[in-house]
Structure 1
């Protein structure tokens, strides 16, 4: 326990003993002046006024703001000082309540969240899993994912959902030397950007990396069953430039798929229910299921 925490009881006891004297001056006038306080300051003002008439309530007030006892004590001291110097009691209380607004109540949800241990959160999940009447349908991560997906990335997801897995190629060094040691010249070249109609074509590699990070897509080492899918990709300028950058080159065919998690995310968040029946069924290659 810190030195500040060790001093807390003694500091409050002295402040609490002084409160009833202030309360005799302020009690009745405060009740008549409650309309001074509005919005978020209302709660702190009520707590402050109650603390001035009840030492036990004063203790509750300090426990609620134990992380910043100095601010609470200073606010109460300021009220007494202002009243003794002729400031109207309602005005003094209102000003003090405003200063306490950021201390009292504003961090209560955050504090409760900190107090909830990982084990307690796990137990809550298990309790929900046993609740046969629970109506939760969407995965709890979907809301967070929607905040982390760009508009262009949503278009890519719809392409993969409606059009199926997309071809991707790597260009490597080939020839006799390439059979022993092949170097990667260019990776992950696709036609996904143009096919999806994205706005920023140069960002497609970053889009795909983000979708992979979120668990929505999978970069497969397997090629698609139809070799014709790769002809358009291999005729693109960036693929041809990589192939012509060395004397001998070779193209390695791969593919990009939605994960089962990605399929469910798209159906839940990006497709109307009336169109769900029109979607094709996509599966990962047998080796990767």
Structure 2
């Protein structure tokens, strides 16, 4: 008589395809995660056999390890009721060091190294709104954009108060549906390491006059009786942001509203560096 299989935990799929269907992920993603620990698992298995551990116990532990690894790779965990939810991971300092050392050891395999497509590109795309994607595409072709902070004027800047900060026209120029949310968008893009806020101005100082004429800037100027001044800033893509845009957006036919090639070739007078 054939032996009946042991009772399965309710709600726990037994194959990788079932796990993938629940998480909406690919089987390859699970397999890759399992493969990373395959060498270590095989080594431990040989060690346990040599130590005389019961074969049934050894294989039960290995099956449970593979199952937990697959669930972790999908960002899932099993509960007593068979319901899956986000994995809650508690690690201490020793766990972090072990994870870091394992990553370095596995990193000697050149096949696992990211090439043109960094593994974080996909999760970053999921963290973007459509307007944020438009901003990234615009910065990719138009280059650094001007921004201004408005402060009260004080001797040597001592006691100066900030009246407004980060005034820019990037969201409007990029064609965002909600340009008034530009600070939210740029804050998230900075959090993701895609854009940088710099105290360095753009090359053409005339571009700041357009920002100083905006209603939000004029309101800040008029909010104090003392004199207010502008601090010239710039916002641009990081190196990682450029790589992300090259990989994730089609940039060839997009001109950024004409800013892809801003070469007027004219001559101007006034303070600030001259255009190259």
TM range, smaller chain:
0.5 to 0.7
Report SS of the residue matched to 1:222: coil
Q: Secondary structure at the match of 1:227?
A: coil
**Aligned match for 1:163, one of 130, 133, 142:** 142
- What residue in structure 1 maps to residue 29 of structure 2? none
Q: Is the alpha carbon distance of 1:266 and 1:29 closer, same or farther for their aligned partners in structure 2, counting shifts above 3 Å?
A: closer
Q: CA RMSD in A?
A: 4.4
Q: Does 1:224 align with 2:221?
A: no
| C-alpha distance in 2 between matches for 1:105 and 1:111 | 16
User: SS of 1:255's equivalent?
Assistant: strand
* Alignment match of 1:200 (pick from 151, 175, 178): 178
Name the SS of the counterpart of 1:130 in structure 2.
coil
State the 1:198 CA deviation.
0.8
Match of 2:191 in 1: 213
**Runs ≥4 residues deviating over 6 A:** 27-31, 39-42, 56-65, 104-107, 110-114
Pair 130,232 (structure 1): closer, same or farther in 2 beyond 3 Å: same
User: Is 2:151–2:228's contact at 8 Å kept on the other side of the alignment?
Assistant: yes
Distance of aligned partners of 1:102 and 1:59 in 2 relative to their CA distance in 1, 3 Å threshold = farther
Q: Which residue of 2 aligns with 1:86?
A: none
Gaps of 5+ in 2: 16-54, 65-77, 262-276
Q: Secondary structure at the match of 1:188?
A: strand
- Residues 242, 178 of structure 1: alpha-carbon distance in 2 compared, 3 angstrom cutoff: farther
1:144 deviates by 1.9
Total equivalences in the alignment: 198
Structure whose alpha-carbon radius of gyration is higher: 1
CA shift digits 1:216-256 (9 cap, x unpaired): 11110111111112121111111111111122111111111
Give yes or no for contact 2:150–2:220 (8 Å, CA) kept in 1.
yes
TM-score, normalised to structure 1, is 0.55
Measure the CA separation in 1 of the matches of 2:163 and 2:197. Answer: 18
> Contact 2:152–2:163 (CA<8 Å) still a contact in 1?
yes
- Aligned partners of 2:149 and 2:162 also within 8 Å: yes
